[in-house]
A and B are shown apart, each in its own frame.
Chain A
């Protein structure tokens, strides 16, 4: 378990994701006080049935989204390592989305700012519900020196990987 003082990371194992979307429910309840899948900071993609996976910020070592922001609306929280959006400053230009190797950030569906996982100040609600259900597709771990950036993959890349893993050669027919 991570200690209180060190940054955390949400380890993800997409092949364990059941597609129950409890993470979306928990995240939107925590951030928006209602069940709102599209306003969730973690989103479950199902481009192919059976190949659901959570898509959420990987906190890349070099934070290309933060670098790309033209008005410095994005910053890194030193304690948790999360990317924090200054919602008042954000102009919803989408540069951070293009800079992200996984195209993970997306716009808030009704407001003019981008939304990115804030790690719930170190106590991520998505992990909590995923663990409660014993799926363990999401796990909270200490953030050490690893290539977290590898986990910033586009929905298409992740789907292709899972299609191969589950459905083998014929998997690509379904994408």
Chain B
């Protein structure tokens, strides 16, 4: 057995209620590490032969909750949620912070594999090797806070009853879905701790489709044994000391971005990306810090950074709204993107989104899309069930978000996410609405634009990423360079928070892997073999897609049309992505990724990585 792993996975079939322990052989763990990489492998092995036919929201989809060997050791615990994505119809490694991954490993499992579909709402309760599916009728339809409160109470009472001599029981770690997930909204998240979310991929809809309301886990064991605990302790210190030096990063997290990214680098979504610049001082981080942050340093397991803050509106008509920071992404998407520039309105909208179990990025994207259509007179008040969707109208956006989560009226259409809504609405209105959809392969673009060229994403970042618009895993050139998604694959497969890896030398991260697992893994080898193999698997499943959406590289390996329109204001006014240059970079990316001129992974590339069966499956696309 490889060190650093608990050594077994939990598998439950919700159609039959059966619960098993499964083991994966060491070679698979060595090659695919954990989290995102392992998700790609498990999904390919189980569903690859008929990927195009698998409905992401049907019982056949496999929903995965995977840790990695570094979970709990590398500061900043996370868990990776995956499956066939109802957004991209490929595979997204969607991670969420919190103690879930740590508790799961302490319970003796590296991950959970969920298949089938339950008839009635259930939740999975895990206490070490005691695992059971429990009725979740009483929390079905409940919001995030109600769900967490009810399940925390219920699970602690169960533990107390079963182990009366133990002393006080801590809360279990809980992952859950809100109403959005229950109603199979494609922009639904798998959430934790009220405000944390695995957003990209839309796995909340998959969990809801399976009628799995939540998973609660309490592990009482230790983290799995490592190869060199002294070295691990040292590396933890290296990562923490690095974080402790970044005073403002700790103090503000990404919360400075809501003003900064717009004002300074012109790469923030403003009114559905019609612009990417604003200079609204009302939206400064000092305003958030001094008015709404009631807890300035909030961390997940082992995290030295505390990029999270707890925010609450204390006065006025939005009084009582609680959320985290919001972080930059939600500041942007539920702020300037909707014409909103006050911290209280932003906190309120983020709390509505949290409570409903929606993704702030994907839902902010579709809300902005709808508002632009309203601005242009394409969507009318009548189309919007009486809502006047004016920029800056907080209550209007909150009302529409609720309609989306419950799939009411026009919300049912927008619940399909920006891409699918654009197609459907386009048909109804008999016009091309995709030009207003700021997304890549079904996934709304993260709040970092490319037009000013002053932010980190590049021309091919979203166009060629195997995770579409996901800003946490963007493609870059050269493919082994620092902007490439091969390094994000490492973070998401080791499963830890990449925010704590900023400023950490690459070799230290791989040294961390070696200290935990005992396996030497030079970064170059990672790129050439393991990361590359995972990348090809993700690319293959993305291109196979189906059944309701498929991507043609020629058309869909591209930026959203909006990025080719010039910026309207600010210091980078007039700048836009250059089509010819983008095409050039895409060609170069194909070459470096080992894909043919049509963007399909070449036979030779796949065979070299022992992916013969993938090669066979891709024959029909060539």
> In the bound complex, do residue B106 and residue A20 qualify as a contact, i.e. CB atoms below 8 Å apart?
no
Q: Supply 16 further A-B pairs (C-beta < 8 A) apart from A39-B222, A155-B170.
A: A16-B297, A19-B298, A19-B299, A19-B300, A21-B302, A25-B236, A34-B229, A36-B223, A103-B167, A109-B220, A110-B220, A114-B167, A133-B240, A166-B294, A167-B322, A174-B149
For B297, the chain A residues whose CB sits under 8 A away are 16, 18, 135
Q: How distant is the Cα of A49 from the Cα of B156 in the complex, in angstroms?
A: 15
> In the bound complex, do residue B299 and residue A109 qualify as a contact, i.e. CB atoms below 8 Å apart?
no
Within 8 A of B (CB), among A14-29: 15-16, 18-22, 25, 28-29
Contact of B229 (CB < 8 Å), options: A33, A47, A134, A155: A33
> In the bound complex, do residue A25 and residue B299 qualify as a contact, i.e. CB atoms below 8 Å apart?
no
Check A12 for interface membership: any CB of B closer than 8 A: no
Within 8 A of B (CB), among A37-92: 37-39, 43-50, 55, 92
> In the bound complex, do residue B221 and residue A110 qualify as a contact, i.e. CB atoms below 8 Å apart?
yes
Known contacts A20-B301, A107-B165; is A47 also within 8 Å of B320 by CB?
no
Chain B 289-332 interface 0/1 with A at a Cβ cutoff of 8 Å (1 = within): 00000110111111110100010101000001010000000000
Q: How distant is the Cα of A15 from the Cα of B294 in the complex, in angstroms?
A: 10
Q: How distant is the Cα of A38 from the Cα of B72 in the complex, in angstroms?
A: 14
For A28, the chain B residues whose CB sits under 8 A away are 222
Within 8 A of B (CB), among A101-134: 103-107, 109-110, 114, 132-134
Check A175 for interface membership: any CB of B closer than 8 A: yes
Q: How distant is the Cα of A175 from the Cα of B145 in the complex, in angstroms?
A: 10
Contact-residue size bin, chain A (C-beta under 8 Å from the other chain): 35 or more
Contact of B195 (CB < 8 Å), options: A22, A39, A49, A174: A49
**13 examples of A-B residue contacts, CB within 8 angstroms:** A35-B73, A35-B223, A36-B106, A36-B223, A38-B170, A47-B152, A49-B195, A55-B168, A92-B165, A97-B167, A106-B167, A132-B240, A155-B168
> In the bound complex, do residue B233 and residue A29 qualify as a contact, i.e. CB atoms below 8 Å apart?
yes
For A164, the chain B residues whose CB sits under 8 A away are none
Contact of A94 (CB < 8 Å), options: B167, B219, B229, B306: B167
Chain B 38-75 interface 0/1 with A at a Cβ cutoff of 8 Å (1 = within): 00000000000000000000000000000000001100
For B149, the chain A residues whose CB sits under 8 A away are 48, 173-175
Q: How distant is the Cα of A43 from the Cα of B301 in the complex, in angstroms?
A: 12
> In the bound complex, do residue B168 and residue A103 qualify as a contact, i.e. CB atoms below 8 Å apart?
yes
Q: How distant is the Cα of A48 from the Cα of B314 in the complex, in angstroms?
A: 19
Contact of A18 (CB < 8 Å), options: B102, B194, B306, B320: B306
Contact of B219 (CB < 8 Å), options: A38, A44, A46, A135: A38
Chain B 235-261 interface 0/1 with A at a Cβ cutoff of 8 Å (1 = within): 010001000100000000000000000
Q: Which of A46, A49, A94, A173 has the most CB of B within 10 A?
A: A49
Check A147 for interface membership: any CB of B closer than 8 A: no
